[in-house]
């Protein structure tokens, strides 16, 4: 590719997205490729490329961890075709193109909901050595807690994805139905069963992750945040 229009891959905490955008020359902002957990900005990311990853990378330089049962990794925007080729070459099994901005925003919100719930339950441990749980162990040992947390966050999630009408193969029902969301979460988790959500990254992204959904009447969400992140997290 001509370096003047080549994709610029951005894989940083969502807290830093605005900084990266502002530091990018205006004529190159449409070449940014955003990969990560976060809600999308119409003003900053609408003309760029979005990747909603459904794979895990357990250490720097390692190949992606995924399985045929994983939800697709979704790509949208200017460099979607190029990114799909890169991801497929690196071993991501299913990559699906998305044409609608509304769709990719809804899919990003659903992925963020997974990230918001699973890190808390991975690190809400009472074991002798306080070892965090893998995502598979969360579903095996804490499914009731996950069900409770998802139920509590669903009103905020539904408000975020209120504009329906999808053409990505993910229906509005799938995006809003509690059972379907829980099935999605489990499928993603079991596609990389040994993964442990990073507490360090979650703490950096806390405002743009759990803070997106948080409301005063979410008693269980508050309890988990205070226990795992500290009381100052909900101050």
User: Average pLDDT per run of 10 along the chain, which is 235 residues long?
Assistant: 78 92 94 91 87 88 87 96 95 93 91 97 79 96 97 91 50 68 96 94 95 94 95 84
User: Which of these, 58, 206, 196, lies nearest to 122 by C-alpha position?
Assistant: 196
Q: Tokens 């999630």 label which residue?
A: 157
pLDDT at 42 (0 to 100):
78
pLDDT, position 177: 86
Q: Is 7 left (phi over 0), alpha (psi -120 to 50) or beta?
A: beta
pLDDT at 171: 45
């Amino acid at each position: 590719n001509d370096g003047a229009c080549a994709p610029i891959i951005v894989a940083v905490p969502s807290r830093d997205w605005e900084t990266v955008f502002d530091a990018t020359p205006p004529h190159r902002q449409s070449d940014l490729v955003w990969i990560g957990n976060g809600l999308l900005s119409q003003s900053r990311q609408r003309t760029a490329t979005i990747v909603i990853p459904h794979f895990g990378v357990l250490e720097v330089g390692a190949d992606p961890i995924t399985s045929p049962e994983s939800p697709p990794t979704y790509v949208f925007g200017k460099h979607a075709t190029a990114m799909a080729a890169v991801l497929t070459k690196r071993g991501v099994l299913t990559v699906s193109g998305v044409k609608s901005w509304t769709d990719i925003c809804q899919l990003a919100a659903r992925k963020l909901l997974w990230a918001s719930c699973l890190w808390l339950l991975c690190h809400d441990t009472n074991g002798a050595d306080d070892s965090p749980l893998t995502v598979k162990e969360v579903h095996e040992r804490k499914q009731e807690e996950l069900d409770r947390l998802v139920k509590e966050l669903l009103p905020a999630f539904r408000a975020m994805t209120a504009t329906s009408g999808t053409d990505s193969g993910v229906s509005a029902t799938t995006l809003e139905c509690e059972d379907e969301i829980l099935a999605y979460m489990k499928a993603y988790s079991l596609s990389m069963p040994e993964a442990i959500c990073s507490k360090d990254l979650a703490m950096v992204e806390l405002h743009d992750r759990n803070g997106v959904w948080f409301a005063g009447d979410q008693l269980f969400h508050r309890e988990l945040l205070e226990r795992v992140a500290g009381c100052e997290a909900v101050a």
